[in-house]
Amino acid sequence: MITKQQAMTCQEFHAGRCIVYVGPKGGIILKTERWYANGVCQTWVRKSKEFKLPVKHGLYGYAYITRENAKLLHTLADCKPKVVKVKHV
């Protein structure tokens, strides 16, 4: 979950569950959906809990992080990926 303060200060966000695949020879692959801040976080004086941050994903993916969808994302500092060991390549 992203807070208003994190939306105003952080630059990278992850959506969904992050997974680390560990191969049989020790190779590590990180699978994550990264969203980057693409502008300034918009806030309002009368609605103190509301915020709107433009974000970018890949080449053509654009969206906004708001209070309603902030529970679907987490910051890079809060990322706790699930480790999965792969038996064969």
pLDDT in tens, 25-61: 889 999 999 999 999 999 999 999 999 999 999 999 9
User: What is the pLDDT averaged over residues 8-27?
Assistant: 93
* Residue carrying structure tokens 């990322």: 79
**% of the chain with per-residue pLDDT over 90:** 88
Q: Give CA–CA dist 55/41, Å, rounded.
A: 10
- What is the per-residue burial (b if ≥16 Cβ within 10 Å, else e) of 43-82? eeeeeeeebebebeeeeeeeeebeeeebeebbbeeeeeee
